[in-house]
Each structure stands twice: as structure tokens, then as C-alpha cells.
């Protein structure tokens, strides 16, 4: 097992210094949403609200800010095509 072929659990976007520098300038709600997504993703907006204990409106604002900075990406859910799920950009 070489370190170059195995992906470490610390190789998440949150461990990237550039990612963290861009995140540092964002509001606390965006930082919390990013932290929740780092722990378990992809998640829907409703799931993010539930996990972060933030109101839906605040989660939407945080996701918009994260998307503006290209820190979060989204796709349609495989389980429910009416919903989008979010995950940290690599």
C-alpha cells in the first residue's frame, strides 16, 4: 500500500488549504453547511437544514454563497429526481 495510490480520509476538500482560505471569507452559516457536507454528503437542502439545525432559508443562502465560490456542486437525487443534492467540490 503506497501513499500515492491510496486516498486518505484526510484528502477531503476541507483539508485543502486553498479551499479553506476561500471558505474563511464566507458567513458562519456557509462554514457550518460545508462542515456538515464534509462529514456526510450528498445531502438535500432539507437534510442539510436538519443536520445543521439551521432554518431552510439560511441553508439556501449558505448554499448560494458556497456555489458562488465554486465550493459546492449539486446534482439531481437518484432517489427523487425532483430534489437536488449537494456535495463539496473537489
The model's pLDDT over 42-89, given as tens digits with 9 standing for 90+, comes to: 999 999 999 999 999 999 999 999 999 999 999 999 998 899 999 999
Domain that holds residue 47: 13-88
* pLDDT at residue 13 in the model: 86
**Which one is predicted more confidently, 28 or 6?**
28
Q: 7 in a domain, yes or no?
A: no
| Per-residue pLDDT at 2 exceeds 50 | no
* pLDDT at residue 4 in the model: 42
Burial class for 18, CB neighbours closer than 10 Å (0-12, 13-18, 19+): exposed
| Per-residue pLDDT at 10 exceeds 70 | no
Q: 52 in a domain, yes or no?
A: yes
Q: 21 in a domain, yes or no?
A: yes
Q: 6 in a domain, yes or no?
A: no
For residue 73, what is the domain's CATH number? 1.10.10.10
- The domain total for the chain is 1
| Per-residue pLDDT at 35 exceeds 90 | yes
Q: 66 in a domain, yes or no?
A: yes
Q: 84 in a domain, yes or no?
A: yes
Amino acid at each position: 500500500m503506497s501513499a500515492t495510490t491510496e486516498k486518505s480520509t484526510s484528502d477531503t476538500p476541507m483539508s485543502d488549504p486553498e479551499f479553506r482560505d476561500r471558505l474563511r471569507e464566507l458567513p458562519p452559516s456557509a462554514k457550518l453547511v460545508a462542515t456538515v457536507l464534509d462529514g456526510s454528503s450528498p445531502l438535500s437542502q432539507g437534510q442539510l437544514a436538519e443536520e445543521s439545525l439551521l432554518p431552510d432559508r439560511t441553508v439556501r443562502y449558505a448554499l448560494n454563497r458556497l456555489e458562488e465560490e465554486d465550493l459546492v456542486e449539486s446534482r439531481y437525487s437518484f432517489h427523487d429526481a425532483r430534489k437536488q443534492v449537494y456535495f463539496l467540490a473537489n
